[in-house]
């Protein structure tokens, strides 16, 4: 009898639990607006930089945000990491001192016309939401920074960008963009930083960047472009950083006119060689990343004539030996990990007085670090990383890809 009673109670308990779960599932998700948050908490404080932080507060709606107008010293508002789904029109209009709004990592799908109209608003960050469309009059014409990365755009919102002549920073990375219209950036003559990486762009018309004569940073990485024609960047003489990683290159592009270029990323491509003097016309170049390519040898003047280059990454390639003195004496950081290097000419690093870091792990070298340092006369201040006890051949680039 007790056993039967116990089983009956257990069954009733299961039924009650399932009923409770079903009831919870049927209840609509409770909206938790900024007004609700302010009703339950003290008015947030403004820090010394004019910032108000409402990050990760569980807020689902911007309703009531006008109450923050009482914070007359607020110029930056963080609302990232909440659950906001839409941005109503002129919702920020009464925040007359607001310059920057951060809505990163919300659940925004809808942006209404004039959503980001406010007297002094110049920065809008919408990274990592679910936005596929934005009305052409959604933002201030005086905007200087716009981050639309990590969303669901299938095309560049040309009509939105057209009036933003003061824009200096634009990010459209990590979207679903496959096409770049030739006129996409024609009016953005003050743009300094452009991020188009991690999209599905196969081709960029040669005149697309013609108007961007002030551009300093360009990221085209992780797009199936296949090439980087010299004419595409013919007007980008102010460029200091170029990312062309993982775009399917088979050779190093000609970039001789980019006299101010400092950092060049060509990693994760299918480049097989570094020709002699390929970078010699780049007098400002300080860092070159050629990791994860198919480079099998270095030539005598691959890098040796580049006095400004301080950092070279050649890891995860197919290099078997290093001779002919391919590096310059001013080098500070060299990464040649995970190649197939079995021998290095003993004078390769002679008189490298600025050498700080040498990474050799994952090759076929033998001996000890101490013996290597002594034999190759490497300064004591240089950190050497390797694992000669466990040599391993680099996998083929085809498998790595």
Residue 24: what pLDDT? 37
Q: What is the 3-state secondary structure (H, E, C) of the chain?
A: CHHHHHHHHHHHHHHHHHHHHHHHHHCCCCCCEHHHHHHHCCCCCCCCCCEEECCCCCCCECCCHHHHHHCCCCCEEECCCCCCCEECCCCCCCCCCCCEEECCCCCCCEECCCCECCCCCCEEECCCCCCCCCCCCCECCCCCEEECCCCCCCECCHHHHCCCCCCCEEECCCCCCCECCCCCCCCCCCCCEEECCCCCCCCCCCCCCCCCCCCCEEECCCCCCCCCCHHHHCCCCCCCEEECCCCCCCCCCCCCCCCCCCEEECCCCCCCEECCCCCCCCCCCCEEECCCCCCCEECCCCCCCCCCCCEEECCCCCCCEECCCCCCCCCCEEECCCCCCCEECCCCCCCCCCCCEEECCCCCCCCCHHHHHHHCCCCCCCEEECCCCCCCCCCCHHHHC
Residue 304: what pLDDT? 87
Round to whole Å and give the CA distance between 286 and 309.
4
| Mean pLDDT value across residues 291-302 | 94
Digit-coded pLDDT (tens) for 99-114: 999 999 999 999 999 9
Given CA atoms 220, 221, 227, 229 in this order, what sign does their dihedral have?
positive
Round to whole Å and give the CA distance between 94 and 70.
10
| Mean pLDDT value across residues 123-148 | 97
**21-25, 110-114, 340-344, 376-380: segment of lowest average pLDDT:** 21-25
Asked if 145 and 169 count as a contact pair (C-beta separation under 8 A), the reply is: yes
Digit-coded pLDDT (tens) for 242-261: 999 999 999 999 999 999 99
Residue 5 has pLDDT above 80, yes or no: no
Residue 399 has pLDDT above 80, yes or no: no
Pairing of strands 383-385, 263-265: unpaired
Round to whole Å and give the CA distance between 195 and 329.
34
Digit-coded pLDDT (tens) for 205-220: 999 999 999 999 999 9
pTM strictly above 0.85: yes
Residue 233: what pLDDT? 96
- pLDDT band at 388; cut points 50, 70, 90: low
Residue 351: what pLDDT? 86
Asked if 376 and 355 count as a contact pair (C-beta separation under 8 A), the reply is: no
Bigger pLDDT: 390 vs 103: 103
- pLDDT band at 387; cut points 50, 70, 90: confident
Q: How many CB atoms lie within 10 A of CB 391?
A: 16
| Mean pLDDT value across residues 117-130 | 98
Burial of residue 167 (CB within 10 Å: 0-12, 13-18, 19+) is buried
Cβ-based neighbours of 368, under 8 Å, separated by 6 or more:
388
Residue 4: what pLDDT? 47
| Mean pLDDT value across residues 41-52 | 96
Digit-coded pLDDT (tens) for 334-374: 999 999 999 999 888 888 889 999 999 999 998 888 889 99
Cα angle 157, 184, 140; round to 5: 55
Length of the chain: 401
- pLDDT band at 20; cut points 50, 70, 90: very low
Residue 327: what pLDDT? 92
Residue 17 has pLDDT above 70, yes or no: no
User: What are the φ/ψ torsions at residue 110 (nearest 5 degrees)?
Assistant: -125, 125
Q: How many CB atoms lie within 10 A of CB 305?
A: 13
Bigger pLDDT: 142 vs 392: 142
Residue 227 has pLDDT above 60, yes or no: yes
Residue 2 has pLDDT above 70, yes or no: no
Residue 65 has pLDDT above 60, yes or no: yes
Round to whole Å and give the CA distance between 159 and 222.
25
Calculate the average pLDDT of the chain.
90
| Mean pLDDT value across residues 72-82 | 97
Residue 394 has pLDDT above 60, yes or no: no
| Mean pLDDT value across residues 163-177 | 98
Round to whole Å and give the CA distance between 318 and 340.
6
Residue 281: what pLDDT? 94
- pLDDT band at 167; cut points 50, 70, 90: very high
Which range, 17-31, 165-179, 321-335, 348-362, is most confident? 165-179
């Amino acid at each position: 009898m007790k056993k039967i009673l116990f089983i009956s109670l257990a069954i009733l308990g299961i039924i009650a639990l399932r009923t409770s779960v079903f009831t919870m599932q049927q209840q609509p998700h409770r909206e938790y607006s900024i007004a609700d948050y302010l009703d339950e908490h003290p008015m947030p404080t403004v820090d010394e930089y004019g910032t108000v932080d409402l990050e990760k507060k569980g807020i689902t709606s911007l309703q009531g945000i006008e109450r923050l107008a009482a914070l007359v010293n607020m110029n930056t508002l963080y609302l990232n990491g909440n659950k906001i789904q839409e941005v109503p029109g002129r919702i920020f209009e009464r925040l007359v001192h607001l310059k920057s709004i951060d809505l990163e990592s919300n659940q925004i799908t809808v942006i209404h016309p004039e959503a980001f109209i406010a007297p002094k608003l110049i920065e809008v960050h919408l990274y990592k939401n679910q936005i596929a469309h934005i009305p052409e009059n959604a933002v201030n014409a005086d905007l200087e920074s716009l981050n639309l990365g990590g969303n669901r755009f299938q095309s560049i919102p040309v009509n939105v960008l057209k009036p933003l002549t003061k824009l200096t920073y634009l990010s459209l990375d990590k979207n679903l963009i496959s096409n770049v219209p030739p006129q996409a950036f024609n009016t953005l003559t003050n743009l300094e930083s452009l991020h188009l990486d991690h999209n599905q762009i196969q081709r960029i018309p040669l005149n697309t960047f013609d108007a961007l004569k002030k551009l300093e940073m360009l990221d085209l990485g992780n797009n199936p472009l296949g090439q980087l024609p010299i004419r595409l960047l013919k007007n980008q003489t102010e460029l200091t950083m170029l990312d062309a990683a993982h775009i399917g290159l088979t050779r190093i592009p000609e970039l001789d006119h980019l006299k101010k270029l400092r950092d060049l990323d060509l990693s994760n491509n299918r480049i097989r060689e570094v020709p002699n003097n390929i970078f010699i016309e780049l007098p400002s170049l300080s860092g070159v990343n050629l990791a994860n390519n198919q480079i099998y040898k270095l030539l005598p003047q691959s890098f040796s004539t580049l006095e400004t280059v301080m950092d070279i990454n050649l890891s995860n390639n197919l290099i078997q030996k290093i001779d002919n003195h391919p590096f310059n004496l001013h080098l500070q950081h060299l990464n040649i990990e995970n190649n197939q290097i079995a021998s290095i000419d003993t004078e390769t690093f002679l008189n490298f007085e600025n050498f700080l870091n040498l990474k050799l792990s994952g090759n076929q070298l033998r001996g000890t670090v101490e013996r290597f340092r002594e034999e190759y006369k490497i300064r004591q201040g240089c950190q050497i990383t390797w694992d000669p006890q466990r040599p391993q051949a680099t996998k083929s680039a085809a498998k790595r890809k």
